[in-house]
Amino acid sequence: MRSRTGCTSIWACATPGTRSRPASAADLITSPSSRPKNARTGGATIRNSSVNKTSSKALTWQLGVDWKASDAIFLYAVTRRGYRAGGINSPTLAGRLAPFQSFAPGKVTDVEVGIRSDFTMGDVKFQLNASPFVGWYNNVQVPISGLNTQASCSTTAAGGTNPPKSPDGDCDASNDPSGGTLLVNAGKTRVAGIDLSTRIQPTSTLSFDAGATFLDLKSRSLTVPAALQSYLAALKVPFNLVAKTTVTAGLRWTLPVPRSLAETVVSMDYYHSSKVRSSDQVLPAYDLVNGRLDLNGVGGSNADISFFVRNLFDKKYLASSNVGSAALGIFSGFYGVPRTYGVEVRYRFGD
């Protein structure tokens, strides 16, 4: 949430073409050669200052029922109301953007049912969990980017102030949204899906885990005004950094090494994420594999030594991105952490 106000008494207001920044003592000196005896008495004048305020509140609740159907099966159902507070865009906006100085709170109402189960088949132990759910979101808060005054903006030429040449219609870059981005209430969405997880333990020393989440994303209505729709990649509420499919898998194996040497455990895990949208970009799907070797109670002591490697195959993938826009012609992203390996040493004091 962005809630910082625009130009206030502790912020120096920028002149056209520059950005606002906190006022420092140096900003109050009229010239490099000024001395205290040359200064006028009285308070400094801060020009074009303003104060923007908003407030929001909402009632949230949760209602659920649990049923232990047997020693092996647990069932539940729950419905909830969630709330995300509103806030302020900065700096003080003008023209077409004035109505978007603040954004309203977002709300979600969801329903979830689930099963948790434990059972055995022969000597093999199983766990199976499933949780289907659906949530209805109202006043969804999304960032709209690319709201920067372009060099071709003109207040005299026909259509010279139309979007995307000017986001607010005044060709003044000094009051463009900070970072060229606004948080706005974009409309209504529906998110449905299911969480699945399972564990198979064929022996007391070996176990396999797997899990997945599948989402169905739907934009129910778009309330972004026509003045801002040209900044959207599509005329629907965007789902930023939401993967429709994620998959996990792992194993844990306690090796047949004498406990007098150490309890030796090998762990491997796998993670997959489908492609995700980030503003006007689409970040590709990726897969990661991690590994770990734990030596617990080395030599019968209270010392543990662990060796780990993350991103075993040194996968290059985009984990996130800056808020960007096709209107700017510039995109940037953040690569995930490359292959990382190391050693951890722990010592337990006491028995």
Per-residue pLDDT tens digits for 68-127: 999 999 999 999 999 999 999 988 888 889 898 999 999 999 999 999 999 999 999 999
* SS3 state at 98: helix
Rounded to the nearest 5 degrees, what angle is found at the Cα of 6, between the Cα atoms of 48 and 87?
A: 150
Q: Which two tokens stand for residue 186?
A: 């974009």
Q: How many CB atoms lie within 10 A of CB 324?
A: 20
First to last CA, the chain: 47
What type of residue is 322? N
Mean pLDDT for 271-281 is: 88
pLDDT on residue 143: 87
Average pLDDT over residues 137-158: 88
Q: Which residues fall within 8 angstroms of residue 36, CB to CB, at 6 or more apart? A: none
Q: Are 170 and 94 in contact (CB under 8 A)?
A: yes
Cα-flanking dihedrals φ and ψ of residue 84, to 5°? -120, 125
Quote the DSSP letter at residue 38. Answer: G
pLDDT digits (tens, 9 = 90+) for 36-66: 565 566 666 655 567 888 888 888 999 999 9
Q: Model's pTM, two decimal places?
A: 0.77
Per-residue pLDDT, 94: 87
Rounded Cα distance, 34 and 231, in Å: 47
pLDDT at 208 over 80: yes
Give the mean model confidence (pLDDT) for residues 268-283.
90
Average pLDDT rounded to a whole number, residues 180-198:
93
14-28, 106-120, 233-247: which range is least confident on average?
Answer: 14-28
